[in-house]
């Protein structure tokens, strides 16, 4: 019996070793080819962009690159945003990231600290790349880890018919005008409310796009010297303003579990008069309701504020895996996407703003609202202080939960901000 047990143990042991080896082998790094010998190289590029662009458009851009660089093939790994994030988190953890990765600024700090993505500053220096053409770079400890390829701003969307029906003639530009307009729209009755505030904690980006946007629009900041400063008068004022909107009953009900897509849907259906949303959703809204009469405008600022307005943005950023054997080829591809001509083309089809300062998106055949938004963007400055912070999503979620306590009357604004400050301080060292 003992012999039999030993044999069985050996068999299982051998199987385990084989399986582990097989698993390890299967988890090998992305690209293929021998760069050293000058042979063809295949770069894997994981991103969510292809899924959000018109069918086939991104493939054309990639084909052009391959035509110009016959020795470099690019294999697109396209998936929705959430899936891409999950795959990259897993890949970063196991050091098996694809060669080139689409990045959100909120992920960069964690990936950089893990050593999963490479320091692009070194690659740019090695390639004598002119960094002055870049609109922005996302850095961690003075080294660039992500370059925004296309930026999407989050202006105020206004349903002009609802505004007119409520007797409001001008699009609000200040907080008090916004509150007044929201009250009047909500007074129309039925299911119509003035504003939508998505605070779902599964994807808590409502904190960034719909709450902190009020702060940034008035030139405020939630950080001081890179450290959290949530108890500052600016943040307090913004949160108190959101609370005042809630107290006035102008926020669409269900906001505590409302998702971004619910917000867009309610605006498209005429159930909310105003929302702060990505410019990328203009086409979606037009597809959903072609006759909706809406406009985009700058996010209202504090009464009396005359300075430049920060406008929230999100980016399609790009980075390179630290474990790839083809860093030079990967950077060549990054350079290509950020070149003036390609970047202009990409930002045009994406309805976003270019990562290359010299690139000019073509608004001629598009919706005039893109031009309006571009003007707003140029008059102010892009603001998103969550970019580059560690555990960004968790910071948003912590703040979100405290804000929910405020809105449900379970905590004061001061208490919520103090607790958020404590929580953030333990993360941002």
Partner 1 sequence: MTSANVDPAAAPKTAAWAGQAAAGRHRHGLARRLVPYGYLSPTMLLITVLMVVPIVMVIGYSFQDNVIVNKNPVFAGFANYAKVLTDADFLASLGNTAVFISVSTVAHLVLGLAFAMMLNTQLLGGITKAVFRIVYILPWLFTIAVIAVIWRLLFDPAGVVNYVLNTVGLLQEGVAWLGDPVTALWAVTFANIWSGYPFFMISLLAALQGISADLYEAAAMDGTNWFQRFVHVTLAQLRPVIVSMAVLDLIWTSQQFALIWMMTGGGPLNATEMLSTYTYKQAFSEYEFATASAAAVIVLLLTTALAFFYVRQQREQ
Binding site for partner 1 (CB under 8 A): 4, 8, 11-12, 15-16, 18-20, 22-23, 85-86, 89, 93-94, 110, 113-115, 191, 199-203, 252-258, 262, 271, 391, 393-394, 397, 401, 404-405, 408, 410
CB closer to partner 1, 85 vs 345: 85
- Closest approach of partner 1 to the CB of residue 394, in Å: 5
b (16+ CB within 10 A) / e for 330-361 = bbbbbbbbbbeebbbbbbbbbbbbbbbeebeb
Return the closest-CA partner of residue 87 out of 47, 57, 118, 121. 47
CB closer to partner 1, 92 vs 314: 92
CB closer to partner 1, 85 vs 332: 85
CB closer to partner 1, 265 vs 367: 265
Tell me the Ramachandran region of residue 40: left when phi exceeds 0, alpha when psi lies from -120 to 50, beta otherwise.
beta
CB closer to partner 1, 64 vs 262: 262
- Closest approach of partner 1 to the CB of residue 97, in Å: 13
- Closest approach of partner 1 to the CB of residue 2, in Å: 14
- Closest approach of partner 1 to the CB of residue 180, in Å: 24
Query: Which residues are registered as beta bridge partners of 42?
Result: 32, 73
- Closest approach of partner 1 to the CB of residue 1, in Å: 12
- Dihedrals φ, ψ of 314, to 5°? -130, 155
- Closest approach of partner 1 to the CB of residue 69, in Å: 34
- Closest approach of partner 1 to the CB of residue 89, in Å: 6
CB closer to partner 1, 129 vs 195: 195
b (16+ CB within 10 A) / e for 169-188 = eebbbebeebbbbbbbbbee
CB closer to partner 1, 66 vs 90: 90
- Closest approach of partner 1 to the CB of residue 340, in Å: 37
**Cα–Cα distance measured from residue 343 to residue 151, given in angstroms and rounded to the nearest whole number:** 11
- Closest approach of partner 1 to the CB of residue 397, in Å: 6
CB closer to partner 1, 22 vs 164: 22
CB closer to partner 1, 302 vs 401: 401
CB closer to partner 1, 328 vs 405: 405
CB closer to partner 1, 18 vs 126: 18
- Closest approach of partner 1 to the CB of residue 230, in Å: 18
- Closest approach of partner 1 to the CB of residue 24, in Å: 10
């Amino acid at each position: 019996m003992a012999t039999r047990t030993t044999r069985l143990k050996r068999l299982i042991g051998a199987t385990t070793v084989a399986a582990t080896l097989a698993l390890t082998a299967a988890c090998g790094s992305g690209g293929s080819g021998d760069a050293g010998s000058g042979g063809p190289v295949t770069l894997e590029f994981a991103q969510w962009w292809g899924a959000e662009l018109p069918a086939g458009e991104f493939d054309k851009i990639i084909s052009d690159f391959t035509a110009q660089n016959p020795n470099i093939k690019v294999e697109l790994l396209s998936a929705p945003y959430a899936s891409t994030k999950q795959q990259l988190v897993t890949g970063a953890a196991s050091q098996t990231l694809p060669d080139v990765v689409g990045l959100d600024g909120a992920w960069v700090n964690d990936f950089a600290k893990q050593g999963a993505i490479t320091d692009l500053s070194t690659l740019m220096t090695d390639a004598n790349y002119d960094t002055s053409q870049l609109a922005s770079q996302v850095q961690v400890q003075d080294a660039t880890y992500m370059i925004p390829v296309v930026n999407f701003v989050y202006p105020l969307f206004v349903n002009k018919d609802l505004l007119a029906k409520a007797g409001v003639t001008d699009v609000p530009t200040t907080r008090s005008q916004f509150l007044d307009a929201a009250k009047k729209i909500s007074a129309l009755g039925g299911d119509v409310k003035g504003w939508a505030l998505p605070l779902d904690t599964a994807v808590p980006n409502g904190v960034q796009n719909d709450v902190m946007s009020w702060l940034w629009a008035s030139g405020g900041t939630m950080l001081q010297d890179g450290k959290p400063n949530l108890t500052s008068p600016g943040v307090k004022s913004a949160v108190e303003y959101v609370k005042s909107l809630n107290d006035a009953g102008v926020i669409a009900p269900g906001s505590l579990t409302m998702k971004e897509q619910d917000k867009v849907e309610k605006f498209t259906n005429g159930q909310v008069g105003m929302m702060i949303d990505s410019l990328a959703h203009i086409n979606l809204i037009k597809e959903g309701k072609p006759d909706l009469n809406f406009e985009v405008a700058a996010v209202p600022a504090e009464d009396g504020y005359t300075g430049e307005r920060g406008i929230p943005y999100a980016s399609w950023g790009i980075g390179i895996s630290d474990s790839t054997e083809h860093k030079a080829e990967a950077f060549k591809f990054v350079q290509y996407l950020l070149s003036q001509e390609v970047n202009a083309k990409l930002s045009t089809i994406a309805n976003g703003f270019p990562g290359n300062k010299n690139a000019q998106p073509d608004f001629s055949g598009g919706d005039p609202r893109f031009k309006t938004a571009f003007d707003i963007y140029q008059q102010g400055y892009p603001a998103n202080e969550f970019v580059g912070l560690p555990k960004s999503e968790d910071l948003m979620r912590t703040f979100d939960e405290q804000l929910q306590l405020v809105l449900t009357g379970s905590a004061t604004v001061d208490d919520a901000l103090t607790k958020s400050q404590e929580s953030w301080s333990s993360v941002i060292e």
